[in-house]
Amino acid sequence: MGKRIIARARGKGGSQYRAPSHRYLGKVSYPPAKKVVGKRGLVRDIVHDPGRSAPVALVSFPWMKEDLLQIAPEGLHVGDEIKYGGEASVGNVLELKDIPIGVRIFGLETCPNSGPKLCRSSGSFATIMNKGDNKITVKFSSGKTRDFNARCRATIGVPGGGGKREKPWVKAGKRYYAMRARGKLYPRTSGVAMSPVDHPYGGKRKAPRPSGTVSRNAPPGAKVGSIAARRMGRKKGSKK
């Protein structure tokens, strides 16, 4: 009978492909800019979030009942204070116009008060390159540059846990549980290594060959192969 190929099984959904979001700590965010200008937050704890590669700091404020989640930079400790505005020291959250050129930042806002959107994974950072009247040029580690509104906020420093990718897995079991925490399938067998009954690419030929056409209105799990193709095969009379 065979089985569903991975693309169709993932599209259908199921516990194997569903990330356990009920175990995640929550959303990282910045408090409203108007409430925290010049104020400080206390780092109550630094914890691991199964849904993230970087550690998360629990920041408390006197006027808030619950702690705020923020990405913890390298060098931040429990009991430290995070200042919103002021000097450009590690952990502080400042507007881009107040950050000196050449300083490493992370947790950038794409627009004012949008919350941290960019450079949130462990070891990722950006650098302030140039300043204009109302635009700040930021360079990412990939080499790409982008202009941001001067009122966008960012955190000074580099997210913690930057060397975790250099550590080998050693055991397949450790990688299995790490992938399972994100809802990723592991181990994954390639299609050409299967038999023809289990996958369209399987068999001794060991070369991918196209599947049949599928409707554009097909569910995501069934969109495998040529999607809404107008025609198939070689054109008549073509020499190629």
Residue 206, pLDDT score: 59
- 20-34, 68-82, 124-138, range with the lowest pLDDT: 20-34
17-26, 44-53, 206-215: least confident range: 206-215
Lowest average pLDDT, out of 2-6, 32-36, 79-83, 163-167, goes to 2-6
Give the pTM: 0.75
The DSSP string of 105-168 is EESB-SSTTS---BS-STT--EEEEEE-SSEEEEEETTS-EEEEETT-EEEES-BS-TTGGGS-
What confidence tens digit (pLDDT) does each residue in 83-123 have?
A: 998 888 999 999 999 999 999 999 999 999 999 999 999 98
CB 191 within 8 A of CB 200: yes
* Predicted confidence (pLDDT) at residue 74 exceeds the cutoff of 90: yes
Torsion of CA 12, 15, 19, 20, to 10 degrees: 150
pLDDT of residue 1: 54
Residue 77: CB atoms within 10 A of its CB come to 10
Domain boundaries, the chain: 23-164, 189-227
Query: According to the model, what pLDDT value does residue 2 have?
Result: 64
Quick: pLDDT tens for 226-237: 888 888 777 777
pLDDT(157) > 60: yes
Indicate the class that CATH gives domain 23-164: mainly beta
